[in-house]
Amino acid sequence: MAKKRKKKRSKKKGGSLKKKFLLLFSVVTIVTLYFVKDIQVDYYKNQDGLTGPALKTAMHDLIRKHKYLNFDQNTTARYWWDNYFIKTDWHPDGYYWDMYSSEKHNKYVDGSKQSREHCMPRSWWGKSASYSSYDANGDLFNLFPSDYNANQAKSNLPLGEVGIARFDNGVSKVGTNTYPLGYRGQVFEPADEYKGDFARVYFYMVTCYEDYSYDWRTDGLKTMLSQGPYPGFQPWALEMLLKWHRNDPVSEKEIERNNAVYQIQENRNPFIDSPDLAEYIWGVKKEEPFKIDNQGQVLKQPTIKDLALLYFNRIVNVILSFLVK
């Protein structure tokens, strides 16, 4: 009987140690997530030395693997504002950051005042009945909080530069495109301070969803997009987007949003992390081999997966150093 009791106590002790270890790991992880604001993470790999089309495809292979966010099924506009936009688009002065209007909402009211706006229209990649089957439909890098009226005016129009505006709220304009040699229909023009933001969203979309490049629909193909993986844009559109990208450099707002989206979606916009990337893919450096900034490292808030990998690598290094001794 004594042996059995001893065995039972030993088993209980082992279980207790396991629980203590799990508790300790949980506490360390939570504390680390709270106090460790930024760490260097090797995110960009295997893109060094590539040019043009090959570089674009390599970036596609990296950023295409991301968490799917459901835009339509089992989620509402309020859910997105309360759970996503409050993390990605909250202005330091205490309201949602709207790049489409000067409205300053500090909470979601209803769909008659606020919208979830697809920067690149979702009608460009699918029919309404099948939107939910596309990962791009819920991609946070392409979704922003917006004023309802501005969203309605923008509709599924391409980007452009407006002459005489039929809609102008002081931030956004809609009217006939005047960009030289460009599409001559109706376009949406953001404010100058956001033109670079919009350009980098479009760079991201044609790169991340390069696998859609033979399925772009008429609305996109007759205005800004081109069929096939490269370049992805019509000449006039690419020229305009590169101009916007150069004239409106990456802002702190974009950097913080990039980090926030990474926490939710687990991929990044490389055109924010490395602004020169657009030049290496489409611009003045497209014949030059790409050189990754900071050896491919980015400074960002760690995810639990990042921390697990970090701890694992450190444990392995400790064991290896002990064995060498």
With b meaning 16 or more CB within 10 Å and e meaning fewer, what string describes 162-184? beeeebebebbbbbbbebeebbe
Q: What is the pTM of this model?
A: 0.81
CA 300 to chain centre: 14
What is the pLDDT at residue 33? 45
Task: Read off the amino acid at residue 314.
Answer: R
Model confidence pLDDT, tens digit, residues 24-80: 555 555 544 444 445 445 788 788 899 999 999 999 999 999 999 988 766 788 999
Task: Read off the amino acid at residue 98.
Answer: D
Q: Which two tokens stand for residue 119?
A: 């920067």
Q: What is the greatest pairwise CA distance in the chain?
A: 94
What is the pLDDT at residue 30? 52
Of 283, 131, 284, 141, the residue nearest 206 (C-alpha): 141
What is the pLDDT at residue 24? 59
Per-domain residue ranges of the chain: 45-294
Cα 15 to Cα 7, 9, 19, 29, 122: the distances in Å are 12, 10, 6, 21, 52
Task: Determine contact, residues 209/59, Cβ cutoff 8 Å.
Answer: no
What is the pLDDT at residue 174? 98
Segments in the chain below pLDDT 70: 1-41, 73-74, 128-129, 293-325
Task: Determine contact, residues 28/35, Cβ cutoff 8 Å.
Answer: no
